[in-house]
Amino acid sequence: MAADITFWVDVLFPALWRGFTVTLKLIAFTAPFGFLLGLLIAVARVYGSRPIRILAKLYVIFFRGCPLLLLLFILYFGLPSVGIVLGSFYSALYGFILCNSAYNSEYLRGALQSIKGGQMTAAKALGMTKAQAVLYVVIPQALRKALPGVSNEFIYLIKYSSLAYVVALIELTGAAKIVASKYFLYFEAFAAVGVFYLVLVTIATFVINALEKKYAIPGAQ
């Protein structure tokens, strides 16, 4: 069965566009919350008390070590058995945030640790508390150093958002799967999905490169 123009215009593209909006929604919510949670975990690991550092490290070990697919299964299929029903969208969203934040925290932790301790000492000498020094002196510099790594994780987020279909969320890949199964046009459907992701990743890459150039630390390699 060969695809004609009617299939592309009236069936495939509208279905993929609806799925694409769901994918964009997932990314739009995951990226900021995954970043902020990752930053919180990174700060806890570097500047927290010993019990907090241990808890933060365990968080990272678990969510980096747990395959994302398995995590989504736990949230969507496992939690209802103990009375917690999240639904497709929130199961995918929480799974992506937990995974994304764990990886972001490692990039951010490395950046925080790269800031020389003398800056903290100088900030305290000016009357800042430890929290103020971390917030206003250390973190702004660390964010610039962590930008390449965090940006790379954002690209990964775009691509692994395709796993949301396994928890019955009709995003881009899920929409293609439904159309392909109905019309038996698997190559056409998934090739079109590949184009969507390629365009999205390309646009994100250009924006990221512009941000990295703008906020690059002068003289840094």
- 128-154: b (≥16 Cβ within 10 Å) or e: beeeebbeebbbebbbebbbbbbbebb
pTM of the model: 0.92
Asked whether residue 212 carries a pLDDT value surpassing 90, the answer given is no
CA separation for the pair 57, 106 (Å, rounded): 10
> Tokens 């927290």, residue?
48
CA separation for the pair 166, 144 (Å, rounded): 35
Q: pLDDT band at 219, cuts 50/70/90?
A: low
**6-65: per-residue pLDDT in tens?**
888 889 999 999 999 999 999 999 999 999 999 999 999 999 999 999 999 999 999 999
The phi and psi torsions of 49 (rounded to 5 degrees) equal: -70, 170
The predicted structure's pLDDT at residue 65: 93
Quote the mean pLDDT of the chain: 92
Instruction: Select from 113, 115, 104 the least CA-distant residue to 149.
Output: 104
Asked whether residue 68 carries a pLDDT value surpassing 60, the answer given is yes
The predicted structure's pLDDT at residue 220: 53
- How many other CB atoms are found less than 10 A from the CB of residue 165? 22
- How many other CB atoms are found less than 10 A from the CB of residue 180? 18
- Extract the tokens encoding 161: 């958002």
Query: Which fold, 5-215?
Result: MetI-like fold (1.10.3720)
Q: pLDDT band at 120, cuts 50/70/90?
A: confident
Q: What share of the chain has pLDDT > 70, as a percent? A: 97
